[in-house]
Structure 1
Amino acid sequence: MPDTALPTEARILAVSESAAKRVAFLIAQEGNPKLMLRLTVSGGGCSGFQYGFSFDETTTDEDHVFEKDGTKVVTDDASLDLLAGATLDYVEDLMGAAFQIKNPNASASCGCGNSFAV
């Protein structure tokens, strides 16, 4: 059976400067500099998978930590399979402000941007 695992260099999650600044701001608001943003993918949502965001100060052996400007974003191994090559961004526009995932693995997404299909 052929190995279908992604090469190590493809299993990355990029964090934009804007996202790093926003995460740093939110962590400062929480008052705990040990916190990291945890990004997960789970089944559900209107398109099949949905993104989840939370703060965490611990990691496990199955976690991958990505850092930008001292800000850490952590995701588990299974989520990284669906996030490989994606970029976490933070966008402010006339409609509001939100984290956005630019995910090359998503074949479709819902209007809210929190759900996607592969």
Structure 2
Amino acid sequence: MEIKITPSAVARIAELIAKDKNKQVALRVSVDGGGCSGFMYNYQLVGSVNNDDFILENNGVKVAVDPISQEFLEGCTIEFIQELGSNYFQITNPKATAKCGCGNSFTV
């Protein structure tokens, strides 16, 4: 499986994990049904990873993806965007045929 993570996303995940008092070890990125366009991205700091997760590690930062979400996230790029008034993770997904205005939900 191939997923890319930009330096801005690596830095933000490291910052979030360092600030978390529950000793989280990874950012879990998953895809669930719902949202405006049919599927939506979810982000959650987790304290452990599962044996069947795909683990992307970059500069000591881990991103975990469950087996079901892997097929939707293959070839994606995860980045962290900082704009005036908002900061957010964004996924560029080559499999998405459409996405909502906020970019958090998509169609395949």
The TM tier, using the shorter chain, reads over 0.9
Specify the alignment match of 2:93 in structure 1. Answer: 103
Aligned residues with identical type, % of pairs: 42
Which position in structure 2 is the counterpart of 1:113?
103
1:54 and 2:44 are equivalent in the alignment? yes
Q: Is 1:74–2:68 an aligned residue pair?
A: no
The answer to whether the aligner puts 1:24 opposite 2:10 as a matched pair is: no
Per-residue CA deviation, residues 39-71 of structure 1 (Å, 9 max, x unaligned), is 000111110000001011222222110011110
Give the match's secondary structure for 2:55. strand
Distance apart, 1:32 and its partner CA? 4.8
Which segments of structure 1 move beyond 6 Å, counting only runs of 4 or more?
A: none
Structure 2: distance between partners of 1:32 and 1:95 = 28
Structure ID, larger Rg: 1
Check the 8 A contact 1:16/1:68 in 2, yes or no: no
Unaligned runs of 5+ in 2: none
Secondary structure at the counterpart of residue 112 of structure 1: coil
Aligned counterparts of 2:39 and 2:68: Cα–Cα separation in 1: 12
TM-score by length of 1: 0.86
For normalisation by structure 2, the TM-score amounts to: 0.93
2:76 to 67, 81, 86: 86
Rounded to whole Å, the distance in 1 between the matches of 2:16 and 2:53 is 21
User: Contact between 2:27 and 2:43, CA under 8 Å: does it hold in 1?
Assistant: yes
- Between the two proteins, the alignment pairs up a number of residues equal to 108
| Cα contact 1:19–1:90 (8 A) shared by 2 | yes
Q: Give the match for residue 13 of structure 1.
A: 3
Q: Which of 33, 54, 75 lines up with 1:64 in the alignment?
A: 54
Contact 2:28 2:65 in 1 (8 A): yes
Tell me the distance in 2 between the aligned counterparts of 1:47 and 1:79.
16
> What amino acid sits opposite 2:36 in the alignment?
C
Pairwise mapping of residues 37-48 of structure 1 onto structure 2 (< 5 A)?
37-48=27-38
Q: CA RMSD in A?
A: 1.2
SS of equivalent residue, structure 1 residue 31 = coil
